[in-house]
Amino acid sequence: MTRRQVDRGSATVLAAVGAAGLLVVMVVGLQIAGASIARHRAEAAADLAALAGAAEVLDGRDAACGRAGRIASANGASIQTCEVLDLDLRVTVRIAVNVGPIGASAIGRGRAGPLSHS
C-alpha cells in the first residue's frame, strides 16, 4: 500500500473536525452573548423599577414596592427584594434566561432617591 492510498480521505475527516470545532465555538459564543444581554435587561428593569417606585416612597413602602413590581413585571422581571431606606428605594429583580438547554436567571439591582436628604 502506498502513502497516497493511506492518506486518501483524510482531508474530509479534518474538514469535518474543523467544522464541528467552529460550531462548538459559535454555540458557546451565542450562550455568552445571551447571558450578557439578559444581565443588561435585568439591570435596566431594576433601574426603571427603582425610579418608578421612588416616586411613591412618601406614600409608604407598600406603594413604592407595588409600583416597582408593576414596572419590573412590564419589563419581564420579577422583584426579589424591595426596601426603603430613608428616601431611597433599593430593588433587586430577576429575569429568567434560557441559554440553550441550561435554564438560569439574571439578577439586576437598582437604587433611586433624591440627590440629597436635606
pLDDT, one tens digit per residue, over 17-71 is 999 999 999 988 888 888 889 999 999 999 999 999 999 999 999 999 999 999 9
Give the pLDDT of residue 4. 59
Task: Quote the pTM value.
Answer: 0.76
* 82 close to 53: Cβ distance less than 8 angstroms: yes
104: β partners: 97
Residue 96 grid coordinates: 429568567
Does residue 5 surpass a pLDDT of 90? no
CA 76 – CA 95 distance, rounded (Å): 7
Mean pLDDT value across the chain: 88
Give the pLDDT of residue 116. 64
Does residue 6 surpass a pLDDT of 80? no
Helix (H) or strand (E) holding 106: strand 102-112
Name the percent of the chain lying above pLDDT 90.
62
CA 2 – CA 24 distance, rounded (Å): 36
Of residues 107 and 104, more confidently modeled? 107
Give the pLDDT of residue 97. 84
* Order of strands across the sheet that contains 78-85: 78-85, 88-99, 102-112
Q: What is the mean pLDDT of residues 95-116?
A: 84
